[in-house]
Structure 1
Amino acid sequence: MRRLRSVLAAAALAAALTPVTTASAVDQGKGTPGYCPDATGVTVVVDFHELGGDPIIRCAPGEQASGLTALQNAGFELTGSQRWGMASLCRIEGKPAPEAEACVDSPPMTAYWGYWQAPNGGTWGFAQSGVQDSKPPAGSFEGWSFAKDKSFETSPPPRIAPVRPNAPAGTSGVTPEGVAWTGGAVAQPAAQDSGFPWGVVLGGAAVLLVGGAAGVTAYRRKRAS
């Protein structure tokens, strides 16, 4: 009995001394951690802001068909809304938590993922089209930044500047370990007038467009009769 207690005490001490690592939903089988080493891939930045956690930078190698495929090929875990699917992303890497965001409809404008884009060495600006329709050029940056209780004018861009660092000779140009990178340059003020966060409101915009088209059709029929 005394020996059993000693074994249990030793096991408890070992467990207490074991470092605790933060679980990540990133699919390590897709993409690579850190910036893309050259202009043949798309660098994807996810900044959680109030949700907690360091920004994550990953590379989606090669040509990307859309902003959505860039996110997926970089290895991020995504959840779309039940109503609009992946056209309206409500969670990235499991954030916000289910108790905070049910993902039934498009996220509210008080707590949403803003969709940003930038050329290498440029300035972050809101995406000009939805995540399924945009086609990021090779060598460019895709950014996802969580905005809580922010207006369109104050919606924060990713805190990592869209600048691909020069790789020292003999290195790959990406971070050697892990998925989070906090050593990037601080982002400059974003180009707020470059568009609107279509990745957030695409579903609602689609409803407005369809409804508007239906209204025009009905009006024309009424006049023709």
Structure 2
Amino acid sequence: MIAARLARLSAVCALLLGASFAGAAPASAADGTCAEGAGVTVVVDFGDLGPQPLIRCAPGTPANGIAALQEAGIDVAGSQKYGLAVACRIDGKPGPDVESCAGMPSATAYWSYWHAAAGGKWESSQEGAQTSKPVAGGFEGWAFAKPKSANDLPAPPKVAPVRQTATAAPDVSQAGDITFPWGFVIGGVVILLLAGAGVFVASRRRRRGQ
């Protein structure tokens, strides 16, 4: 009987311990620039299309500009005639009401392609994204251009090619900004339950020995 109760108690403790570890697990990586040496940062500025610019990290050194988009988890679609040699839609934009993607995009509504070193300045790419090789640790930029005429030069992404700094640790003096440590609390409960189980078993053994 005692062994059965102890087994049930151990199973409950194991579940609680698992829950405490799950509660303490770190969150998945958020969008943002790559850490130094971690990959190529991809910036997509939608311009008038909205929403806010995308900033994602493509790990390592992607083979080309299109691969950088894809490895950063950003969907890219080419034109029906030229395939991915021409980036027609990025993250589903622009929609078919703006561009059909049958051939070359309009000269007054298209994606412009840029490069930059970390902390440097955006420079317009001199070759297509399917043949351009991203620089290790650098930035790849895309900006949706809607010039008034085909002779107007496109503007670079509004997001500067600057690596984001690590988030500072929370100020412990501001209790409202600190997440309650449920994992540690549950872990403490597990320890107390295990200790209680040990005392219970020892007590029963002493009574039998008397």
TM-score, L = length of structure 1: 0.59
How far 1:169 sits from its partner (Å)? Answer: 6.7
Unpaired runs of 5+ in structure 2? 1-27, 170-210
Aligned to 2:15: none
- Deviation digits for residues 66-118 of structure 1, max 9, x if unmatched? 11110000011111000000000111111111122110001011100000110
Change (3 A) 1:36 1:79: same
Deviation at 1:39, TM superposition (A): 2.4
Unaligned runs of 5+ in 1: 1-28, 171-225
Amino acid at match of 1:163: V
Residue 42 (structure 1) aligned with residue 56 (structure 2): no
Does the residue aligned with 1:33 lie in a helix, a strand or coil?
coil
Aligned residue pairs, count: 142
8 Å contact from structure 2 (residues 99, 106) kept in 1? no
Q: Of residues 116, 132, 148 in structure 2, which corresponds to 1:134?
A: 132
Alignment of 1:107-186 (within 5 A): 107-150=105-148, 151=150, 153-168=152-167
Deviations along 1:98-139, whole A, 9 cap, x unmatched?
122110001011100000110001100101211111111111
Query: Structure 1's 32 and 157: CA in aligned 2 closer, same or farther, altered over 3 A?
Result: same
- 1:204-215 aligned at under 5 Å gives the runs none
Which of 33, 49, 61 matches 1:63? 61
Cα distance in 1 for partners of 2:163, 2:72 equals 16
Query: Per-residue displacement from partner, 1:47-77 (whole Å, max 9, x unpaired)?
Result: 0111121011000011211111100000111
**Secondary structure at 1:91 match in 2:** strand
Contact preservation (8 Å) 1:32, 1:60: no
Q: Is the 8 A contact 1:32 1:59 kept in 2?
A: no
d(CA) in 2 for partners of 1:38 and 1:95? 30
Tell me the percent identity.
Answer: 53
Flag the structure with larger Rg.
2
Structure with bigger helix share is: 2
Q: What's the secondary structure of 1:35's corresponding residue?
A: coil
Name which of 79, 82, 85 aligns with 2:80. Answer: 82
Aligned-residue CA RMSD in angstroms? 2.1
Contact 2:147/2:153 (CA < 8 Å) preserved in 1? Answer: no
In 2, Cα distance between equivalents of 1:114 and 1:141: 14
